[in-house]
Amino acid sequence: MKVVIVGSGVAATAHARVAVAHPGLQLVGIVETTRGSSAESTKPRLADYVEETLKGERPATFSSLAAALSDSDVDVVAVCTPSGTHADHAEQALAADKHVVIEKPIDVDLARARRLSALADEARTRGIVVSVISQHRFDPANAAISRAISAGRFGQLTSATASIAWWRDQDYYDSGDWRGTWQFDGGALLNQGVQAIDLLVHFLGTPVEVFGRTARLTHTDMEAEDVGGAVITFENGAIATLLATTSARPHVGARVQVHGTEGSAISARDQLEYFFAADAHPAGSSVYQGANQALNEVSANDVPGGFVDLDLFSGHLRQYEDILEAIHTGREPGVTVSDALTVLALVRAVYVSQTLGVQVDFADVVAGGYDDVVAVTGQPALTAVSSPADPIAKVSV
């Protein structure tokens, strides 16, 4: 499969590494522009990196996707540009009948993502595969949890919690003029949080109601939130809490916990920190009922304390394996456009909830009922107010 990568920044580098390393892929082109990243002019061009550092065949470079599509023989387009450009680039690639791999999130705009979803469904009938990167779904820890849930091993799922506590200083947001903007990025929820949110939905199913809060607490120059939280109710009645922040020094990491009547699991920093399923200890068994069975489900490399896989690109490699299999066999990819649309709608529901100050019906968000709401980040100031008539301090937001 001949691959063209659109973009030449951080994510594009991961895709280039996979395309050079994977025997089923050939990196034939890179669309390199100077737009979007102030740090870019000082970085070596990605084509140089591929040739000199990765020792790959030098890919052609193009100044636009249109030029790449008309000049080279391409099978797969990998969209690695700022999030607000994803759907437009993917549409362009689909119009040329190419398979498309889109970096997360699907886009920042729900209407554009909805249109792309319809186009991807239509392209599917012609054998075209579109998938959105959510590489942590393919981590052995998260795959083990997903398998257990599908097999019913956790019984009735009752609750979950996802927290993404990262540290990103103002220099990070200044490193690209798109970062932290509503038009191209969103904040901690839509950029850093989106993969854990994908896991939450993957594990628990369709959300029903969302109540969210966001705030910009520590960054002086970004539009969207650096802290966001929500309470989400799912179709089966399960309740989840969500927290995403880029104001947690020193980068505490991502953690997803899921709980059911017959078992629970914790995935932390991509490793299986805890796993328990009652079926491994049938009634009458003398083994302690809360014993951590993580090592029965994944290898020692994938539990904390084991050897930590430091290769940040292994998730992308695993997801490309899945996408290639989908292309070759005609099955659905592990992460579909529809999955990614649900995740974007969930983040959008948090933004709408914050902006309007109400609990939001998730189906209404998906259907476009709130498309005209202009998201506003919550204000950080909590003011303690006391008056002689009411000596008990009240908090007003």
Ligand X SMILES: NC(=O)c1ccc[n+]([C@@H]2O[C@H](COP(=O)([O-])OP(=O)(O)OC[C@H]3O[C@@H](n4cnc5c(N)ncnc54)[C@H](O)[C@@H]3O)[C@@H](O)[C@H]2O)c1
Asked if residue 10 binds ligand X (CB under 6 A), the reply is yes
Segment near ligand X (CB under 6 A), from 4-12, 21-29, 166-174, 242-250? 4-12
Segment near ligand X (CB under 6 A), from 28-36, 303-311, 326-334, 363-371? 28-36
Beta bridge partners of residue 271, listed in sequence order: 268
Asked if residue 192 binds ligand X (CB under 6 A), the reply is no
Asked if residue 107 binds ligand X (CB under 6 A), the reply is no
Segment near ligand X (CB under 6 A), from 82-90, 120-128, 335-343, 385-393? 82-90
CB nearer to ligand X: give 11 or 326: 11
Question: Residue 85 CB, nearest distance to ligand X (Å)?
Answer: 5
Which is nearest to 155 in space by CA: 261, 254, 4, 72?
A: 261
Segment near ligand X (CB under 6 A), from 79-87, 93-101, 208-216, 298-306? 79-87
The number of CA neighbours under 13 Å toward the Cβ of 253 is: 8
Place of tokens 């992460």: 335
Q: Which residues of 316-332 are buried (b: 16+ CB within 10 A; e: fewer)?
A: bbbbbebbbebbeeeee
For ligand X, how many residues bind (rule: CB under 6 A)?
23
Q: Which residues of 66-104 are buried (b: 16+ CB within 10 A; e: fewer)?
A: eebbeeeebebbbbbbbbbbbbbbbebbbeeebbbbbbb
Q: Are 264 and 274 in contact (CB under 8 A)?
A: yes
Q: Are 261 and 154 in contact (CB under 8 A)?
A: yes
Asked if residue 334 binds ligand X (CB under 6 A), the reply is no
d(CA 102, CA 117): 12
Segment near ligand X (CB under 6 A), from 35-43, 92-100, 220-228, 261-269? 35-43
CB nearer to ligand X: give 178 or 275: 178
> Contact with ligand X (CB under 6 A): which of 21, 36, 54, 61?
36
Segment near ligand X (CB under 6 A), from 78-86, 144-152, 332-340, 354-362? 78-86
Asked if residue 83 binds ligand X (CB under 6 A), the reply is yes
d(CA 341, CA 172): 27
Which is nearest to 199 in space by CA: 342, 376, 358, 384?
A: 342
233-252 mask for ligand X (x: CB under 6 A)?
Answer: --------------------
d(CA 97, CA 30): 18
CB nearer to ligand X: give 10 or 278: 10
CB nearer to ligand X: give 91 or 209: 91
Which is nearest to 218 in space by CA: 228, 210, 226?
A: 226
Which is nearest to 312 in space by CA: 3, 9, 11?
A: 11
Question: Residue 288 CB, nearest distance to ligand X (Å)?
Answer: 37
Which residues, including other chains, have CB under 8 Å from residue 21's CB and lie 6 or more apart?
54, 313, 317
168-187 mask for ligand X (x: CB under 6 A)?
Answer: --------x-----------
Segment near ligand X (CB under 6 A), from 66-74, 76-84, 346-354, 367-375? 76-84
CB nearer to ligand X: give 135 or 218: 135
Asked if residue 85 binds ligand X (CB under 6 A), the reply is yes
Using Cβ positions, the residue closest to ligand X within the complex turns out to be 9
Q: Which amino acid is at 75?
A: D
d(CA 111, CA 277): 41
**Binding positions for ligand X, 122-161, rule CB under 6 A:** 133, 135
Q: Which residue ranges make up the site for ligand X (CB under 6 A)?
A: 6-12, 33, 35-37, 40, 80-83, 85, 103-104, 133, 135, 176, 191
